[in-house]
Homo-oligomer: A and B are copies of this chain.
Amino acid sequence: MTDLGPVTNPASAQHRLDVELGERAYPIVIGRGLLTDPEQYRPFVIGRRVMIVSNETVAPLYLEAVRQGLADFETAEVILPDGEQHKDLATLNRIFDALLEQHFGRDTTLVALGGGVVGDMAGFAAACYQRGVPFIQVPTTLLAQVDSSVGGKTGVNHPAGKNMIGAFHQPRAVIADTDTLATLPGRELSAGLAEVIKYGLIADRPFFDWLEEQAESLRALEPAALATAIARSCRNKAQVVAADEREAGQRALLNLGHTFGHAIEAGAGYGEWLHGEAVGVGLVMAARLSRRLGWLDEEAVSRVRRLVSRCGLPLVPPADLAPERWLELMAVDKKVQDGQLRLVLLRGIGEAVLTSDVDADLLRASIQSAPADAL
């Protein structure tokens, strides 16, 4: 078996990573039974009042556990509707309403309890409330645990594009309790695995190899495998982010599969496709386009396609998305620089590159043949 190194605490399969960002450095703790543990929160809460931001799906399952962990503090909560379609300025404003109605001052800590949408909105609310208060991420989906918790990206969607309005705001800590994945729908678990695969593809071939061995253990929620996959993904992302906090260069590699993915999500209407599902298709499309450029061999494309499929992810993009609409949706994406589309593609498994070299006709051809290629 591919050895991915020891865990921090073998007895509990608990991992701890420190994201190095100077005075904004923070820890990520990954393991079981963390939600109710006061020690996970105490060092990171500023002030005595905590506003827990959650949603209608997650709050009934885990709000009590988090309240228990925060028993030393005065807590209140704001429960948002669930779903990406609510990740907008109007829903964000409900967090501000709750904070102001209850006279929360500047010495308030927000706790984001939920998936990526809750994390992005609570984080953005923390970035903007009185021009910035601290927050703690308590991600309860695999996607949020591997991805949204690292990098400090927060924000909301605009009808014209995802995450177009937001801020960089680092959490004070990330508490990733793998027990919460027990209640995660299988479709969402798979969506999270798409981001995990992405980290192997970008810059960590041994991790990709390991994932090929562990795909079934991960889908079966084997705790040690989950904790290892999350920790390794976070470490990969944290390394990129620490080197490039503001996304000038290397950080763009994290968008592997995402330019295609965002177009799928937007084209199908937010909420139809899960983000990770769209990314999974995007990874395969990026591999196929890399193949068309002669950068990847057919065997590597097959490995990507197989692993995405074994993780329970769809391979076929929406059939009703016309190529011109695809290109239009990709053009509004943040990866546009002065009208020039930049894409992240693969020169090998574990070797992603940012390129502006893609000919528009080649891209169009690749999009046109994507549904057939996927079969």
Give the interface of A toward B (CB within 8 A).
Answer: 47-48, 89, 92-93, 96-97, 100-101, 103, 105-107, 127-132, 153, 155, 158, 160-161, 163-168, 246-247, 331-332, 334, 336-339
Q: Which B residues lie within 8 Å of A336 (CB)?
A: 103, 105-106
A165 with B129, Cβ < 8 A, contacts A48-B338, A106-B334, A107-B338 known: yes
The count of identical subunits is: 2
Residue of A96, A97, A129, A155 ringed by the most chain B CB atoms within 10 A: A96
A293 to chain B, nearest CB (A): 24
Q: Is the interface of A mostly helix, strand, loop or mixed?
A: mixed
Instruction: Establish whether residues A160 and B101, one from each chain, have CB atoms under 8 Å apart when the complex forms.
Output: yes
Instruction: Establish whether residues B131 and A100, one from each chain, have CB atoms under 8 Å apart when the complex forms.
Output: no
| A and B contact pairs by CB, cutoff 8 A, 17 listed | A89-B93, A96-B165, A97-B158, A100-B158, A100-B164, A100-B332, A103-B332, A105-B339, A107-B337, A107-B338, A128-B166, A128-B167, A129-B164, A131-B155, A131-B167, A131-B168, A132-B168
Instruction: Establish whether residues B167 and A167, one from each chain, have CB atoms under 8 Å apart when the complex forms.
Output: yes
Q: Which B residues lie within 8 Å of A164 (CB)?
A: 96, 100, 129-130
Instruction: Establish whether residues B47 and A338, one from each chain, have CB atoms under 8 Å apart when the complex forms.
Output: yes
Q: Which B residues lie within 8 Å of A166 (CB)?
A: 128, 130-131
Instruction: Establish whether residues B167 and A337, one from each chain, have CB atoms under 8 Å apart when the complex forms.
Output: no
